[in-house]
């Protein structure tokens, strides 16, 4: 096993020696027809009895040195080019294999990838360290996943018991004060149940546990959900506008897509200033947007998508709705954005990561 530096230098030296051997005839011709040319002319002049031709020794030496330097430079350049183009590429093939497998690695995989075997010491150390790191991360991921599932299950059990006990209490004949207390406890228990479910959802998204993806027409998907929103919120005017100029199909997880759409719509309903206000859903080629009338005050875009942000928790929700929206967008490589335009809250999901100056609404 050799180091990368030693192996590269040895390959370069071998390549240089081979090229020098191949160019030996060129050096021979240079010596014969340049350096020995004056000597040959003198010998011929003496043999023929003619006058010796003039010789500019300094000029010949200078030109000869320049030609030699040029030839050596060309030989070394050719050797370097061949080494960088072919030999070095082969030396770095194990690293390219490691890089490709690392980019494709997912913690949800059953095994850690096996890297290509190599005789280069640095690559062996790098592959071993990376394999250990992947294995450790995978073990931590499995422990975290198991803990999240167990915690959610263990929390759900007492929540369900509390709900059943409260149901029994509400069936009893209670005075107004007691009924109010039971009702408040029931609401808090429901909020805790939703909080537990949403935290579990966030953990699953961040752990990339939603691996099933399929191609979905977003326009058809939104249209199928519209009747449900109109029935549940008949006091609001919820409308959908499809302004696409082309067929928009994305590879998504349908469960997460439905969750994203529900959270955006529910969030706009909670922040709608007037109960008779209009909630607009708009789909175009590059983004999807939801807008609703505001009370003249913009939300804090800096903390809006953080967990338990002030703007979100002051409503009836648990402060995780927009955090879930952002997590789903990040999972699919999308970008969610908030804007306050013409006394309207506008939440837009951009399907391209490139910033766009044009607004969806």
pLDDT band at 354 (very low <50, low <70, confident <90, very high): very low
What lies within 8 Å, CB to CB, of 36 at 6+ separation is none
241 and 224 within one domain: yes
In a domain, 103, yes or no: no
Cα torsion 245, 250, 256, 260 to 10°: value is -20
Residues 94-114 as b or e (16 or more Cβ within 10 Å = b): bbebbeebeeeeebeeeebbe
Q: What counts of helices (H) and strands (E) characterise the chain?
A: 12, 7
Which structural domain range is residue 143 located in? 139-206
Backbone phi, then psi, for 249, in 5-degree steps? -130, 130
343 and 218 within one domain: yes
312 and 275 within one domain: yes
Q: Per the structure, how many domains does the chain have?
A: 3
Q: Largest alpha-carbon pair distance within the chain? A: 144
In a domain, 106, yes or no: no
pLDDT higher than 50, residue 16: yes
Domain boundary among 153, 188, 206: 206
Domain boundary among 160, 182, 206: 206
337 and 236 within one domain: yes
pLDDT digits (tens, 9 = 90+) for 55-92: 666 776 677 778 778 878 887 788 777 777 777 777 88
pLDDT higher than 90, residue 129: yes
In a domain, 154, yes or no: yes
In a domain, 129, yes or no: no
334 and 232 within one domain: yes
> Does pTM surpass 0.75?
no
Backbone phi, then psi, for 243, in 5-degree steps? -110, 30
Tell how strand 249-252 and strand 278-283 pair up.
Answer: unpaired
In DSSP terms, 130 is beta-bridged to: none
In a domain, 123, yes or no: no
Least confident of 176-180, 216-220, 225-229, 306-310: 306-310
Cα gap 27→41, rounded to integer Å: 20
What sign has the CA pseudo-torsion 266, 268, 274, 277? negative
CATH number for the domain that contains residue 339: 3.30.565.10
What is the residue-averaged pLDDT of the chain?
79
259 and 218 within one domain: yes
Backbone phi, then psi, for 241, in 5-degree steps? -120, 120
194 and 223 within one domain: no
67 and 41 within one domain: yes
Domain boundary among 91, 125, 156: 91
pLDDT digits (tens, 9 = 90+) for 187-209: 888 888 888 888 888 888 877 77
The number of CA neighbours under 13 Å toward the Cβ of 314 is 7
271 and 308 within one domain: yes
């Amino acid at each position: 096993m050799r180091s990368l530096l030693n192996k590269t230098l040895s390959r370069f030296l071998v390549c240089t020696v081979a090229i020098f051997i191949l160019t030996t005839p060129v050096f021979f011709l240079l010596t014969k027809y340049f350096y020995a040319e004056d000597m040959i002319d003198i010998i011929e002049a003496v043999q023929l009895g003619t006058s010796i031709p003039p010789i500019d020794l300094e000029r010949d030496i200078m030109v000869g040195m320049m030609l030699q330097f040029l030839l050596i430079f060309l030989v070394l350049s050719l050797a370097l080019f061949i080494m960088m183009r072919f030999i070095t590429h082969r030396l770095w093939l194990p690293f390219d294999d490691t890089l490709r497998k690392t980019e494709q690695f997912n913690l949800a995989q059953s095994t850690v990838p096996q890297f290509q075997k190599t005789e280069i010491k640095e690559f062996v150390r790098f592959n071993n360290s990376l394999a250990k790191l992947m294995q450790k991360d995978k073990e931590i991921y499995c422990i975290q996943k198991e803990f999240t599932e167990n915690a959610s299950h263990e929390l759900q059990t007492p929540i369900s018991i509390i709900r059943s006990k409260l149901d029994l209490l509400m069936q009893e004949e209670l005075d107004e004060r007691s009924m109010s207390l039971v009702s408040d406890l029931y609401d808090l228990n429901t909020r805790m149940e939703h909080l537990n479910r949403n935290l579990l959802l966030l953990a699953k998204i961040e752990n990339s546990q939603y691996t099933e993806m399929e191609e979905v027409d977003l326009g058809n998907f939104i249209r199928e959900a519209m009747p449900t929103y109109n029935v549940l919120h008949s006091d609001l005017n919820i409308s959908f506008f499809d302004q696409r100029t082309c067929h928009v199909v994305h590879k998504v997880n349908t469960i997460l897509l439905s969750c994203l759409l529900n959270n955006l719509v529910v969030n706009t309903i909670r922040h709608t200033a007037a109960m008779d206000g209009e909630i607009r859903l708009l789909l175009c080629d590059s983004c999807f947007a939801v807008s609703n009338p505001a009370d003249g005050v913009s939300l804090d875009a800096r903390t809006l998508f953080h967990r338990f942000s002030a703007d979100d928790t002051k409503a009836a929700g648990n402060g995780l709705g927009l955090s879930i929206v952002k997590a789903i967008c990040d999972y699919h490589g999308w970008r969610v954005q908030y804007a306050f335009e013409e006394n309207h809250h506008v939440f837009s999901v951009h399907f391209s990561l490139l910033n766009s100056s044009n607004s969806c609404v």
